[in-house]
Amino acid sequence: MHGLRGVADAGAFLARLTRIDPGAVVRLRSAGDRTGLWARLPWGVLVTREVAGPGPGDVTVSATELLAVLTRGGDDLPARHDDRWRWRLPPSGARAVESIAATELTRLATAAAGTLREVAAGGLAGRAVGQRAVRDALLDHVALVVTEADGQRVEVPQRLVQAVFRMGFLGPSGVDAAQARVYTARSWVGISAPYGVAWLPMVDKLTVVPIGNHPKG
C-alpha cells in the first residue's frame, strides 16, 4: 500500500507534475509518520513536497499511476520503477540564506514567460530565434542574487523560480504575506516555498584520481 494520508496534498503535487511531464516518475521516501514526494522536472530541477502518512519506504513509481490511485480513493501502490530514478538528492544540513516574498517570485516567473512569448512571436532584434534556444537562455538567467552571512553571493537561476511557480508551491496569487526562503546545501541551491521545495545542483565537483598501473596513466 502507498501509506499516504495526505491525499489532497499529494494529489496537488502529482497533478501539477503530470501536467508538466506526463511521463514523470515520483520517488516516495518515508521518514517516521511523514513521506517526501520527489520528482525531477524536464529542466533539471528537483521538486519535493512532504505529506502526512508513513508511506511505503523508499520506492519510485509512475506519477500518473499514483495520481490515478489517489483520485479513485485506492490505497494500493502502483508498479515500482526504482531503476528509473537516476538523480542524487541534495545533502542534509541546508542553511537558510534569505527570505523572498512569494509575490516577487511570481513577478519574476511571469515576466520570463512574457519575454518568451514576445521573442517567439517577433524574434530578437528583428531576427528569428528558436523558441528552445530562448527558453534555455531564460532558464539559465540569474533571476535574483542573495548574500550569505559570510558575504558570499548566491545566484538563483530562473530554473528554480519557474519550478516553485509552475508547481504551485507559492500558493494562491495575491497573498502578500506568503514568503519563500533561499537555501544552500553544499553545491546545491534551493527555494523553500509554502507548499514545496525546489533544488538545483549548481556545481558538479569531480575528483581526478591517477591510476598508476593503467596503460594510459
In the predicted structure, residue 121 carries a pLDDT above the cut 80: no
The pLDDT > 90 percentage for the chain reads: 74
Quick: pLDDT tens for 100-113.
Answer: 999 999 999 999 88
Q: Is residue 129's pLDDT more than 70?
A: no
Q: Is the pTM of this model over 0.95?
A: no
Which pLDDT does position 7 carry in this prediction?
97
User: Into which CATH architecture does domain 7-84 fall?
Assistant: Roll (3.10)
User: How do residues 4-46 score in pLDDT, each as one tens digit?
Assistant: 999 999 999 999 999 999 999 999 999 999 999 999 999 999 9
Q: Give domain limits for the chain.
A: 7-84, 96-201
Q: Among 210, 209, 188, which residue's Cα sits nearest to residue 199? A: 188
pLDDT of residue 137: 84
Nearest-angstrom CA–CA distance, 75 and 90: 29
